Chains A and B, each alone.
Chain A
Amino acid sequence: MRQLSRRAALAFGAGGAALTIVGWDRPAFAAAKEAADEIAKFTGGKTAAKAKVSIELPEIAENGNTVPLAVSIDAPMTAENYVSEVLVVAEGNPNPGVATFHFSPMSGKAEASTRIRLATTQNIVVVAKTSKGEFFTGQKLVKVTIGGCGG
């Protein structure tokens, strides 16, 4: 019988390691608390309304190392009332703060896109702040999976 070479075993291992899968004993609450702190800092403790935020993210990540993210806030962008900042937080990442986007009335629309790295299956929380001091929020669950058995 042909033996599987060491290289093949390594190749499999390397592929496996590229995606960190959900551990059933991962202390998720620790990261979630850090994320909550991050959000509280951004809002100054105010409650954000669950509205106006749309998040474009895959349900299941094709590659946890580079997940395409687009956010847009359905709110006015006038000199008197505009979205000034948008915070993106990944609840399950070792460093939950992913990005803060800054806008001005000149931006026309509060939208941005980037690629983010996700260590594991988790919620991505987006919080928008307006020049009037209002806060809006939305979130989406992105699953990071081993894959390979669909069909």
Chain B
Amino acid sequence: MANKTPKGRHPGAEHDEISGVQTTGHEWDGLKELDNPAPRWWLIVWIISILFAVGYWIVFPAWPTPAGHTKGVAGWTEYSKLKAEQKEIDQRQGTYLSKLHTMSFDQIRADPAEYAFAKAGGAVVFKENCAACHGTGGEGRKGYPNLNDDDWLFGGRIDDIYHTIQVGSRSTDPDTHATMMPAFGKSGILTPAQIDDAATYVVQLQHGTPAMPTPAWTRGQAVFAANCASCHGEGGGGNRDLGAPRLNDAIWLYGGDKATVIETITNARAGVMPTWKHRLSQDNQRMVAIYVHSLGGGE
């Protein structure tokens, strides 16, 4: 057994007595390592992998060279893949998209399939971009208008909503809704007593003229007429050209209790909405305008 030389082995090399396999000649405390060749199947897979890598270098971008990396014969890039995928989606939405591009808002609303498409797309855009302030259902919060009701600062037609989405409110856009309420208390236009009277009047507005006007209400009426009515309108009807909220309803942006109204008159409010002109695509701006209009308060 010990003298038998297996096929393909060096003659004279040491062989393991039991298996007859050549050893590496290294010994660790009497144990010797067998020098078995790698399994044939493993070797084949290994060689195929090497050939695959060579093919990969030719087809795909791979090696850096002094003149920039190799581009590969397929010309594949992650960016071109993205472009192709986008094209495919645009094609699939083709009919709806081309209608969206050519139809007016009125025409879209009259076309049930197109209207459904625009609302569905708008809902997605709304969740990602608008919900953080206006709430996932457009319900709004203190300082962020509710979009489900019919109380609009700048108008509730789709056109108005679309315009507001484009320019925002006190945003960086040059055409933005930029009107500011003066801080009547902080800048000393009104005394605290006058503000208190005006607040009494404003809180009462939604309930109409009281049957028995208190002296504070009467004084507040005069303060309101002299200072507030120019923007908020005689009787607090509001003015959408200025974005001055309507004050004679039960809908309040910052709160309709007297303390909050006093705070508002004293320090003024200036909510900010960003411009979406450079963030959303035209398609998305139009779709989300249609969606917001459809929430309930659209005019």
Answer yes or no: are A and B bound together in one complex: no
Which residues of B are in contact with A by a Cβ distance under 8 Å? none
Which residues of A are in contact with B by a Cβ distance under 8 Å? none
